[in-house]
Amino acid sequence: MSNIRRAAACAATAIGIGLAGTAVTAAPAFAAGSGHYINFSNEGGFVVNTCYKWKGSQTADTCDSGKPITSTWRVEIPDDATGVELNVNVLAQAGGKNLSPQITDLKRDYCYTLYGTTFTAKIVEKTC
């Protein structure tokens, strides 16, 4: 019985050491956040996709897809980003209408409201 306990204790210790080593040496999945963000509120009569291509950042490019009417969402701006290519596309719009605002200063927050219908979609920056 004591051999079984000793073997179990050794196995648990080995697993713990292995996991601790992994946690210490693992590369970061993304850069730290800057404390700033881009926020959207969909008050329009359509579904929308937003995609973010972070320039100069280790953070992976991402998209928020299929955001329905009355939804709100936001993305944290990575601390190491030097720029962002933002694409805001209305779904089911003939030709895939792009409502993308130009963001040049990543050291502040951005808040946008989307409104209108599929064919009259508009985006307006608002105070955060």
pLDDT tens track for 8-36: 344 433 333 333 333 333 333 445 678 99
Query: Across the beta sheet with 48-55, what order do the strands follow?
Result: 62-67, 48-55, 83-90
The domain ranges of the chain are 33-126
- Digit-coded pLDDT (tens) for 34-78: 899 999 999 999 999 999 999 999 999 999 999 999 999 999 999
CATH code of the domain made up of 33-126? 2.60.40.1430
Tell whether pTM > 0.75.
no
Which distant-in-sequence residues (6+ apart) come within 8 Å of 54 by Cβ? 61, 78, 81, 83, 84
